[in-house]
Amino acid sequence: MFLFLYERIDVLLLCDSVFEIKIDDARYWRDCIGSIATLVDEGTFNISKEGITLKAMDPSGISMVSFSIPNKAFSKYEVDKQAAVGVSIENFNKILSSARNSEQLSMKDSGNKLAIEFIGENSRRRYKLPMIEVKKEADKEPKIEFESQVELKSDPFKEVLKDATSLSNLIGFKTEKDNFKISAKGDAAELEEEHAGNTDFVKKMSVSKPSAATFNLEYLDRIVRTCPQGNTVQLSIKTEEPIKIDYKIGEASLSYYLAPYMLEN
Amino acid sequence: MFLFLYERIDVLLLCDSVFEIKIDDARYWRDCIGSIATLVDEGTFNISKEGITLKAMDPSGISMVSFSIPNKAFSKYEVDKQAAVGVSIENFNKILSSARNSEQLSMKDSGNKLAIEFIGENSRRRYKLPMIEVKKEADKEPKIEFESQVELKSDPFKEVLKDATSLSNLIGFKTEKDNFKISAKGDAAELEEEHAGNTDFVKKMSVSKPSAATFNLEYLDRIVRTCPQGNTVQLSIKTEEPIKIDYKIGEASLSYYLAPYMLEN
Amino acid sequence: MFLFLYERIDVLLLCDSVFEIKIDDARYWRDCIGSIATLVDEGTFNISKEGITLKAMDPSGISMVSFSIPNKAFSKYEVDKQAAVGVSIENFNKILSSARNSEQLSMKDSGNKLAIEFIGENSRRRYKLPMIEVKKEADKEPKIEFESQVELKSDPFKEVLKDATSLSNLIGFKTEKDNFKISAKGDAAELEEEHAGNTDFVKKMSVSKPSAATFNLEYLDRIVRTCPQGNTVQLSIKTEEPIKIDYKIGEASLSYYLAPYMLEN
């Protein structure tokens, strides 16, 4: 049984302000939204003078993403007053996947639509994405006092997740002083990996208390897959509590929470 | 509702002559037939002393292709008298897809079959493709006095079609003096592009009267996809009439007609 | 109708010994097992002091593989007494597909499981694969006095099989003095190839008696596909008898038998 992170709450879309935002590399913004879209099909961007944030749950309710990017990541950032822009993340992602090399991107509100413009040297593509009322909101992150922190290199971690996927749909993490264990058990075979700290894979570890928990492998794989190549992924673990997965995409911060898998009694 | 370009007419296969044709680059011929196969599953080649032509409709009847290649494109071209060779374009395409680098190709009639031979340095592969009676013939091209001509670079045009495909199954073209608009509307979002003439994308434009029409995007995408890289595609447009799409593959000329999509009243 | 190579015999798994085997290149072992997995879903490895062998039939019973590798292929080879280790080849293959560049591999028995360990510079991945009782055993190879031997380069042979696959699900081989013919007949078209001996494709031929037989193309394609690039494939043919296909993967020898396809009377 998966624990639900939150009760589902209906929230109203509020949007009575004006903003105009520009980013120099449309593909960078595509990657950011792609990392949200891996879990979430709709969500509300909170656009304030400081930057843009989004907190959203996946449709099944076992995971959430908390995204934030500061205003300095944009080449133009004009926000008259705080706006809440709910959109289909799936459709936003589709539009952004058309970003071409060396295109700029502009976003502004236009009635009840988000006007998106790709600005190339000789062409302009304009998309309009309807704003929607997002039903499942996740307005706060779970408060957990994590027992262990493990910093992993993203590329070998992706390979481990891929290996485990062929055997099982669950993955277990276990931390001990200077020792990080990954296990996956399937009908076909069992996998167990043991890693010391300070290696090519585990960059850093800090364990205040040994901890162990098991997670849905497909979700974890989707979360980590969009971490840029060569980056690090930070895992925060507490026994039988949700895991927190953090990484950066340039200036943007992504934090994911994934509920633990609990054996039914 | 799609307009049908032609009524379907049953035509008899006539083949009482002898021909022997050779081409130096089997892969070039593969590309030509591949561009026909993208729309059409069977068709009749008209083999005359001057060259080879084929006119054929797609099974749904909303599009047709007119193909022609002059005799000078072939290294050997012996045609005793005019022949009509009906074949499964689908199967012809399968056979040609086996063309290997630096193979020559020979085609001749052999009873009621088309004998195809790939001639490599040390090997010969011989295929026999049955001749068939083609049911759906398209013996003439629609006569349309087009209002606008737009010459596009094929590679960015393919990208535009790909982008639009993720949003909609229809695409609209609109020409004005020195302005070419592409639009695609879907439930998820709307796309609008505006291009000036004489750019990296629109190479030439001539508009005698502003025109607008909407087309099936999947068909258009298939038609343009087989245009060789780096080529230009010519669009001929008249409001609410079939569009004509022309491009060359080496010496071969391909003209496609695609019926407009009309909103039902 | 396909001839069955053997009657199906139930055999008991015997495993009361201890072995520990290491190989320097985990990917090499992955390729060996991959060549078995292409046909067979489970099988029993016979581990003796001299080396490892496996004979197994595919689930349909129309083909078998005989695999053998000498002890010298391994960097560590400790076998106390002969062991029979039955496993799911499919699952073994899945585990081995996770082999990474410059990893070593260790295999030993651990209770009723095969303990597999990938040893990288900084990490160890341990898998446990359950041992099973293999139902379909193939303990001896068919005895056939072949009439023709044809040695082919694997890469063009793979291309021929791919071409034929698009036309037919059967392939015919015919040998004559210094002439090797391949044919595939389908509803769509017919393919015929003729090759002289001592060419870039047919490296050697010896024909004591002209022979001809027809085989299931999908099986043949799967058998040949796992032959390493640049290798040679040896065909042994006798009219209307199973074909034998031999190739090497490094020190390992693979012999496949495939029953002929017989037209029903």
Cα C152 from chain centre: 16
**Cβ–Cβ contacts within 10 Å for residue C139, how many?**
11
**Cross-chain CB nearest to A129 (options B159, B189, B196):** B189
With contacts defined as CB-CB under 8 Å, which chain B residues touch A123? 156, 193-195, 199-201
A93 in Cβ contact with A82 (< 8 Å): no
Residue to test with chain B: of C157, C185, C191, most B Cβ within 10 A: C191
Nearest to A260 by CA among A235, A240, A236: A240
* B122/C201 Cβ within 8 A: yes
- Could you tell me which residue, B196 or B85, shows the higher pLDDT? B85
**Cβ–Cβ contacts within 10 Å for residue A178, how many?**
13
Asked if pLDDT for residue C8 goes beyond 60, the answer is: no
**Alpha-carbon distance A153 to nearest alpha carbon in chain C (angstroms):** 13
Contacts of B111 (CB under 8 A, 6+ apart): none
CA distance C221 to B133: 34
Instruction: Report residue B82: phi and psi, to 5°.
Output: -55, 135
**Cβ–Cβ contacts within 10 Å for residue C134, how many?**
26
How many Cβ pairs closer than 8 A exist between chain A and C? 51
Task: Give the pLDDT of residue B198.
Answer: 77
Asked if pLDDT for residue C188 goes beyond 60, the answer is: yes
Q: List the Cα angle C52/C54/C59 in 5-degree steps.
A: 160
Residue to test with chain B: of A94, A96, A127, most B Cβ within 10 A: A127
Going residue by residue through chain A, which has 265 residues, state the pLDDT in tens, using 9 for 90 and above.
Answer: 444 444 333 333 444 448 999 999 999 999 999 999 999 999 999 999 999 999 999 988 899 999 999 999 999 999 998 999 999 999 999 999 999 888 999 999 998 899 999 998 877 889 999 999 887 666 688 899 999 999 999 999 999 999 899 889 999 999 998 899 999 998 888 899 988 887 788 999 999 999 999 999 999 999 999 999 999 999 999 999 999 999 999 999 999 999 999 866 4
DSSP C3-61: PPSS------------EEEEES-HHHHHHHHHHHHTT-SEEEEEE-SSEEEEEEE-TTS
Helix (H, G, I), strand (E, B) or coil at A123: coil
Chain A CA closest to residue C122: A199
Map out the domains of chain C with their CATH numbers. 19-130 (3.10.150.10), 148-258 (3.10.150.10)
**Alpha-carbon distance B128 to nearest alpha carbon in chain C (angstroms):** 5
With contacts defined as CB-CB under 8 Å, which chain B residues touch C195? 122-123
Q: Kind and range of the H or E element at B86?
A: strand B83-88
With contacts defined as CB-CB under 8 Å, which chain B residues touch C199? 122-123
Residues B18-54 have pLDDT tens digits of 899 999 999 999 999 999 999 999 999 999 999 999 9
**B195 residue type, one letter:** H
- Could you tell me which residue, A199 or C106, shows the higher pLDDT? C106
**Cβ–Cβ contacts within 10 Å for residue A145, how many?**
9
Kindly list the residues of chain A whose beta carbon comes within 8 Å of any beta carbon in chain B. 88, 90-91, 94-95, 97-98, 100, 121-130
Q: What is the pTM of this model?
A: 0.80
**Cross-chain CB nearest to A200 (options C90, C122, C128):** C122
Quick one: tokens of C96? 């081995």
Q: Chain-wide mean pLDDT for chain B? A: 89
Q: Where do the DSSP E strands lie in A80-169?
A: 83-88, 104-110, 113-119, 124-130, 148-153
**Cross-chain CB nearest to C193 (options B94, B124, B128):** B124
DSSP B113-129: EEEEEEE-SS-EEEEEE
CA distance A213 to B114: 67
Q: Distances from the Cα of C98 to the Cαs of B133, C33, C126, in angstroms?
A: 53, 13, 11
Residues C35-77 have pLDDT tens digits of 999 999 999 999 999 999 999 999 888 999 999 999 999 999 9
Chain C CA closest to residue B96: C163
CA distance C241 to C238: 5
Q: Kind and range of the H or E element at B108?
A: strand B104-110
* A190/C128 Cβ within 8 A: yes
